[in-house]
Structure 1
Amino acid sequence: MKSLLRACAVPALSIALLSSAALTAAPSVAFAEADPAFAATTLSLSAYGEARADPDMATITLGVENTGPTAADAMQANAAQMNRVVAALKKAGLEPRDLQTSNLSLNPQYVYEQNQPPKLTGYQASNQVTVTVRDLGRLGAVVDAVVAAGATNVSNISFGLSNPVSAENTARIAAVKALQDKASLYANATGYRISRLVNLSEGGGTSIEPPRPKVFAMAARADAATPVETGQVKVRVDITGLFEMSH
C-alpha cells in the first residue's frame, strides 16, 4: 500500500510543476503576441529635405560707443549720439517694431603699468540696437544713413524670410521623398518589400540657415553706397519614419 502511494505522488508533483510553469509562461506569450515588433519586421529611418529661397528681410546690429571722464559723461554722450542714430533709422522708413535695443553697457577703463595699481582713466558706454530691414533694396542706404548719424559699430547681419511656410513645405516634400528612397533601398538590400508606413514624425522644428554676405563694409567715399550681397537662405526639415516590411 505504501509503494502505491509513492508511485502516485510523483506524477502529482510533476503535474503541479507543469501547471506552475504554464502559468508563468503565459504572460510572456501574451506580451510577444501584443508587441508589434514580434509580429512584423519594421524599419526605422531618418531623412531630411532642403529648399533654397531668396531672402526678403535682414537683421543687423548697429551700435554706438562713447568714452567720458565720468560715468555720467559717457552715458550722456552715448545717449545723444544714439538718439541721432535712431532718428536716422526712423527717417529711413523703419517702423518702431523693427527697432530693438539688444545691448546697453557701461564699463570703467583702466591703465595698467608694471608694479603699479590699476589707474582709472574714465568710462566707456555702449548701446546697440538690432534692426530689421524689410526692403533689402534699401539695406545699404540704411547702413550709410546710420553711420553718417554717428553709428560706430555695424555687425551681425543675417538674412531671412518673413513667411517661410512655402520654403518649409518644399523642404518637407523633399524630406519625404528622401525617406521613401532610403526605405526602398534598405528593403531591396535585405530581400524585403515595404508594406506600409506605420509612423511619420517631424523633428523639433525647421531650421533656416542664412547666407553669409560676400561684401559688407563701409563705403570709402561719401557718394558710394555700401554694397550688400543677399544670396539665398537654406531651409531644412528633418523627419523620421517607421515602415513595416514583408517578404
Structure 2
Amino acid sequence: MRLLVRPLLMLTLALAGTATAASAQEAETLAGVPEIVSSASAEQPVRADLALVTLRFGRVGRTPAEAGRNTALAADSLRRMLRPLGIPADSVISASTWYWWRGRVEAIVANRSVPRWVEDGRGGGHRSDSTVSDTTFRVSESLQVRIRDLRRVGAVIDAALAAGITDISDVTFSATNTENEQREAIRLATQRARRNAEAIALAGGGRVGRTLRLSTDGNGAAPRSVPYDVLHLEAVTAEDAGGAPGSTVVVGPVLRVSATVHGRWQLVEGS
C-alpha cells in the first residue's frame, strides 16, 4: 500500500505545480495587456406567486392549561374557516421563531375590593374592605398563512376579521421560481457591459478585443419580499379583482430580479 500512495502523492504535487505555473504564466501574459473594465446591471420583472400574512391572537382561561386549550381550539377553528378558501392546513403554520414560548403565557391579575363587617364585641362594628386578587391567564398564538392563489389574500384577511382577529401583519409577496428571469437579467447585463466597453474603447481611439474575464454580482439573486403597505394601488375595486362588493382587495405586485455583470476586455489600439 505504501508503494501505491507515494507515486499518487507525487503525481498530485506535479499536477498542482503545473496548474500553478500555468496560472502564473497567464497572469504574466496579461500583465502588460491594455484592458477595459466595465460593469452593467439589468432587471427582469417576475410575477409574485406566494403571499404571506401573519395572524396573531390569544385566548384566556382560569389556568394556563385552560387558556392553552382555548387558544388551540381557536387555531383549529381558523384553519377550518380557511379550508374552503383553498388554504390547506399545512399552509397555516406557527409563525413564532426563537424563544417562541417566551411571552406566550401571560398572567393577568385583577384586584377587587370585597366589603366585610368586623364586629367589635360590644354589639357594634365597622366596615373593613379587603382586596382580593383574581388571576387569569392568556395564551398568545401567531399563525403564518401561506397563500399561493393571490386572489385569495383579501378573503383570508376577511376570514381573520370575521374570527375576531385584528392583529394582522403586512402582506409580503415573493416569487418562488425565478431561474429564467435570472438568466435573462444576466444576459442583458453582459450585453450592456460590453456595449459600455465598446463605447469607452471607441472614445479612446481603439476597439474591444477578446474577453479577459466576466463575473456576476449576486448571480441574479431572487427578489426580496415586498411589504404590501409600500405598494401604491389606484382605482382597484372588488369587482375588478373578482371579489364581492365591500370585501378586502389585495393585488399582488410585480417583483424584479436584478443582476450585475463585471467584465474585462482587451483594448486593441487603433480602429
TM-score, normalised with respect to structure 2: 0.63
| Deviation readout 1:17-42 (Å, 9 max, x if unpaired) | xxxxxxxxxxxxxx788524423123
Q: CA RMSD in A?
A: 3.2
- Structure holding more helix per residue: 1
Q: Distance in 1 between matches of 2:30 and 2:172?
A: 47
| 1:55 has 2:48 as partner | yes
Helix, strand or coil for the counterpart of 2:48? coil
How far the C-alpha of 1:150 sits from its partner, in A, is: 4.1
How far the C-alpha of 1:61 sits from its partner, in A, is: 1.7
How far the C-alpha of 1:91 sits from its partner, in A, is: 3.0
* Bigger Cα displacement from structure 2, 62-71 vs 136-145: 62-71
Residues 214 and 229 in structure 1, CA contact (< 8 A), matched pair in contact too: no
Go from structure 1 to structure 2 and tell me whether the alpha carbon gap of 1:90 and 1:33 turns closer, same or farther (over 3 Å shift).
closer
The one of 94, 97, 117 aligned to 1:101: 94
Residue in 1 that maps onto 2:143? 129
Q: Distance in 2 between matches of 1:223 and 1:76?
A: 36
Residues 43 and 183 in structure 1, CA contact (< 8 A), matched pair in contact too: yes
Residues 108 and 120 in structure 1, CA contact (< 8 A), matched pair in contact too: no
| 1:142 has 2:156 as partner | yes
Go from structure 1 to structure 2 and tell me whether the alpha carbon gap of 1:85 and 1:187 turns closer, same or farther (over 3 Å shift).
same
Helix, strand or coil for the counterpart of 2:43? strand
Residue in 2 that maps onto 1:74? 67
Residues 79 and 89 in structure 2, CA contact (< 8 A), matched pair in contact too: no
Helix, strand or coil for the counterpart of 2:246? coil
Residue in 2 that maps onto 1:159? 173
The amino acid across from 1:87 in the alignment is R
How far the C-alpha of 1:141 sits from its partner, in A, is: 1.3
| Deviation readout 1:48-80 (Å, 9 max, x if unpaired) | 210123323322222223345543343222212
Q: Distance in 1 between matches of 2:61 and 2:39?
A: 57
Helix, strand or coil for the counterpart of 1:208? coil
The amino acid across from 2:77 in the alignment is R
Alignment map for 1:194-205 (pairs within 5 Å): 194-205=208-219
Q: Distance in 2 between matches of 1:122 and 1:194?
A: 77
Q: Distance in 2 between matches of 1:32 and 1:93?
A: 63
Residue in 2 that maps onto 1:22? none
Aligned residue pair count: 205
Residue in 2 that maps onto 1:235? 257
How far the C-alpha of 1:131 sits from its partner, in A, is: 2.0
Q: Distance in 2 between matches of 1:60 and 1:186?
A: 49
Q: Distance in 1 between matches of 2:71 and 2:257?
A: 39
Q: Distance in 2 between matches of 1:134 and 1:56?
A: 6
Unaligned stretches of 5+ in structure 1?
1-30, 112-118
Q: Distance in 2 between matches of 1:189 and 1:123?
A: 76
The amino acid across from 2:184 in the alignment is T
How far the C-alpha of 1:204 sits from its partner, in A, is: 3.2
How far the C-alpha of 1:126 sits from its partner, in A, is: 2.3
Go from structure 1 to structure 2 and tell me whether the alpha carbon gap of 1:74 and 1:244 turns closer, same or farther (over 3 Å shift).
farther
The amino acid across from 2:214 in the alignment is L
Residues 65 and 152 in structure 1, CA contact (< 8 A), matched pair in contact too: no
Q: Distance in 2 between matches of 1:109 and 1:184?
A: 71
How far the C-alpha of 1:89 sits from its partner, in A, is: 2.1
Residue in 2 that maps onto 1:246? 268
Q: Distance in 2 between matches of 1:100 and 1:36?
A: 59
| Deviation readout 1:138-193 (Å, 9 max, x if unpaired) | 22112212332343422131222242223223322321222122222332344432
| 1:225 has 2:244 as partner | no
The amino acid across from 1:43 in the alignment is I
Residue in 2 that maps onto 1:115? none
